[in-house]
Amino acid sequence: MIKEIRIKKTINKDVYPLNIQAIQSIESLVLDKPATIFVGDNGSGKSTLLQAIAKQHGAINTSGKSLSDPYYDALTPLSDNIKLIYSVKNNHGFLFSSEHFITYIHKLQEEKADLEAYIKEVEENYKDKSDFARNQALSPAKKELYAIKHTYEGELQEKSHGEGFLSFFKARMHQKGIYFLDEPESPLSPFHQYQLLVLLSDLIQNGSQIIMATHSPILMALSGATIYEFSDSIKKVSYDDVESVKFMTYFLNHKETFLERIKKK
């Protein structure tokens, strides 16, 4: 597992994303817990650093697009200057980005359509041959099609956005590995966020490592996690000291005050 992230000192900090203030402020981050959570406002650099770490690690990308693809070239100045220190190297796991999950669903739809077209063609070409020969030709494609339709307890494109996310997590997050999660809460209701929290807790119990960027106070509550908050710098904070947690708590306890301010405008 990754136990430390080091960023080289002698690098050109005028180049994006090396010019992000929070990233400039550090030379290393210690990952001394099974879960590490990056929090902070939009544009603070948490997702950028997460994806650069995943790129340097060589993580599988669930969108189907390789992290070595030119699409991710913007991360290269940072990822090439990151050194990962491992306790044990583990190549299982993946990078999940809510931004690119829809790409994965479209990819599954294309694969399904291709398989259905192939099956139809084989059935036509083998209609005059024996059942054995026809079944031999069809079997691999039918197995793949079955997996697409049933791995996620039904087809992802037929589920709501949030249900699709949760079905994906339930089906794919079970093997011991390193999981990079970039704002996985995006389409999830609070209850579904809690269900994801339970899945993440189970993964940790099974020996996995979680590195996650999130805005969700529910996911930030992952037991035993180290929380790094991104602002002008990157600092370790407790759950109760996370700015978004403090704001959400204050809002819920004083919502009438906020609503009165809106009415007065």
Q: Is 234 helix (H, G, I), strand (E, B) or coil?
A: strand
- 240-265, pLDDT tens digit by residue? 999 999 999 999 998 888 888 787 65
Query: What does the alpha-carbon distance between residue 186 and residue 214 come to, in Å, rounded to a whole number?
Result: 9
Strands (E), the chain: 2-7, 28-30, 35-40, 82-86, 93-97, 178-182, 209-213, 226-230, 234-237
Residue 227 pLDDT greater than 90, yes or no: yes
Query: Which pair of tokens denotes residue 149?
Result: 């339709």
Query: What does the alpha-carbon distance between residue 201 and residue 208 come to, in Å, rounded to a whole number?
Result: 10
What is the number of other CB atoms lying within 10 angstroms of the CB of residue 243? 13
Q: What is the pLDDT of residue 69?
A: 75
- 172-190, pLDDT tens digit by residue? 788 899 999 999 998 788 9
Q: What is the pLDDT of residue 200?
A: 95
- 104-113, pLDDT tens digit by residue? 666 767 777 7
Query: What does the alpha-carbon distance between residue 254 and residue 144 come to, in Å, rounded to a whole number?
Result: 53
Q: What is the mean pLDDT of the chain?
A: 85
pTM: 0.80
Q: What is the pLDDT of residue 144?
A: 80
Q: What is the pLDDT of residue 154?
A: 55
Domain ranges of the chain: 2-101+176-264
Cα dihedral 35, 40, 46, 50, rounded to 10, equals: 20
CA distances from 70 to 15, 47, 74, 213 (A): 17, 18, 8, 23
pLDDT > 70 fraction of the chain, expressed in percent and rounded: 87
- For the segment(s) 2-101+176-264, the CATH number from 3.40.50.300, 3.40.50.10800, 3.40.120.10, 1.10.3720.10 is 3.40.50.300
Q: Which residue has the tokens 């209701």?
A: 189
Query: Which pair of tokens denotes residue 99?
Result: 């931004």
What values do phi and psi take at 159, rounded to 5?
-100, 165
